[in-house]
Amino acid sequence: MDRETAEQAVRFGHENSSGHLDISFFGGEPFLEQDLMFHVIEYAHSWRSKEGITMPLRFFATTNGLLLNEDTIRRSVDAGIVLSLSLDGHGACHDATRPLPDGTGSFARIAENFPALLQICPNIQVLATFSSRNIKFLSEGIEKLYYCGFRHFSVGLNYEETWSDDAVATMRNEYKALGNFYEERYKSGNPASITIFDSRIASHVNKSCERCACCDKHDGEIAVAPSGNIYPCLRLVKTDEDHSVLLGNVKTGMDRKLRAKIMVESAREWHECKECGYRGRCFHYCGAVNYKVNGRWNQPPHILCLEEQCSISVADEIAERLYKEKNPLFMRRFFPGEWLLR
Ligand code: SF4
Ligand code: SF4
């Protein structure tokens, strides 16, 4: 992306947001263009102060960690960037899906920076995506990363591939094993935050599913490609020749009717979900995932349906046991009212 387009995107984001604006740098790998990234941040601050704009603004970046070093980590944090690290587990587990161009694994190189990363960003979130190729390492991978010092994990599956019955059975076993680890961490007094369980326990307590903040809240999300082309979500960025979900360009404007249509379609509940007992707690509203897998904005992938049923069941079993024993950390986190009244 050239600087002019990036600056235009900053202005476009402000003009199309009301409550607040989050700017997330994504790729590929955003640190390949770190000079541009830091320029965008400086530009945003100077343009906002010239225009007298006070709308809250935050910056995020998801990185594969390969170009990080102590200086880049510190510079990012000083610039106000909230970093997330894409790590698909530990060691061979990560290497199975993220090889370097020469075919060797990338984990060892990223791990060199763990001490600096955890010292400067102790609450960094690990984004771990598992496929049928490395699902058997899921619980072991997260557990090892925990003992490296990470505490916050966003765990998900690759929904775009075909999952065999064996791979689904492995997924179920691994989610149970990860659930045991999560429970045991609460009992030890050093809990880990693992999204698939945290959000399901929260949805039991609050009786509703926390929808994805990026799409459902406030003004929603758009993604801007290097050409300035606008797409509904970063998961849906296409090549410039593919106009199937193109919403416009930051230089010429956005087709708001098409965007609204996509959001309405995504929010329309899939007919098979209407009678489901997991309804309201299951996250089947991601239009990007649904569209990529099924060509419909509201039809969830089969593997997502199986995963949701599994993770909600495991989370409920864990929560029941921790609630019964009135685990202090669990109660303080999920039932603060009861905890205060004890
Ligand atoms: S578990 Fe499956 S059927 Fe039930 S709401 Fe979720 S996606 Fe729909
Ligand atoms: S389509 Fe999915 S990933 Fe994209 S912004 Fe919406 S909920 Fe988030």
Instruction: Measure 263 CA to ligand 1 centroid, in angstroms.
Output: 19
Among 199, 203, 306, 308, which is best to mutate for testing ligand 1, by the most ligand atoms less than 8 A from CB? 308
Taking CA atoms only, the protein residue closest to ligand 1 atom 3 is 273
Q: What pTM was computed for the model?
A: 0.93
Measuring from each residue's beta carbon to the nearest atom of ligand 2, which residues come in under 6 Å?
A: 212, 214-215, 221, 233, 235, 286-288
Residue length, the chain? 342
Instruction: Quickly state the pLDDT bin for 215 (edges 50, 70, 90).
Output: low
Say which ligand is closest to the CA of 282.
1
Average pLDDT over residues 245-250: 96
Residue 296 included in any domain? no
- Exposure class string for 148-177: b at 16+ Cβ within 10 A, else e: eebbbbbbbbbbeeebeeebbebbbebbbb
Split into its structural domains, the chain has a count of 1
Between CA 341 and CA 76 the distance in angstroms is 42
Quick one: pLDDT at residue 212?
60
Residue type, 158: N
Indicate the burial class of 302 (C-beta count within 10 angstroms; 0-12, 13-18, 19 or more). middle
Please answer whether residues 152 and 122 qualify as being in contact, where contact means their C-beta atoms are separated by less than 8 angstroms.
no
Give tens-digit pLDDT for 80-104. 999 999 999 999 989 988 999 999 9
Quick one: pLDDT at residue 211?
59
Residue 176 included in any domain? yes
Q: Return the axis-axis angle of helices 34-51 and 3-15, rounded to nearest 10°.
A: 50
Residue 330 included in any domain? yes
Q: What is the CATH number of the domain that holds 310?
A: 3.20.20.70
Per the rule left: phi > 0, alpha: psi between -120 and 50, beta: everything else, 201 is: alpha
Residue 256 included in any domain? no
Residue 258 included in any domain? no
Tokens in use for 173? 């076993």
Residue 298 included in any domain? no
Taking CA atoms only, the protein residue closest to ligand 1 atom 8 is 273
Domain extent for 204: 3-213+306-334
Please answer whether residues 90 and 144 qualify as being in contact, where contact means their C-beta atoms are separated by less than 8 angstroms.
yes
Q: Name the residue among 71, 17, 67 with its Cα closest to residue 44.
A: 17
Ligand 2 atom closest to Cα of 288?
1
- Number of Cβ within 10 Å of residue 86's Cβ equals 19
Residue 248 included in any domain? no
Give tens-digit pLDDT for 186-203. 999 999 999 999 999 998
Residue 227 included in any domain? no
Contacts of 213 (CB under 8 A, 6+ apart): none
Q: Provide the 3-class DSSP secondary structure of residue 18.
A: coil
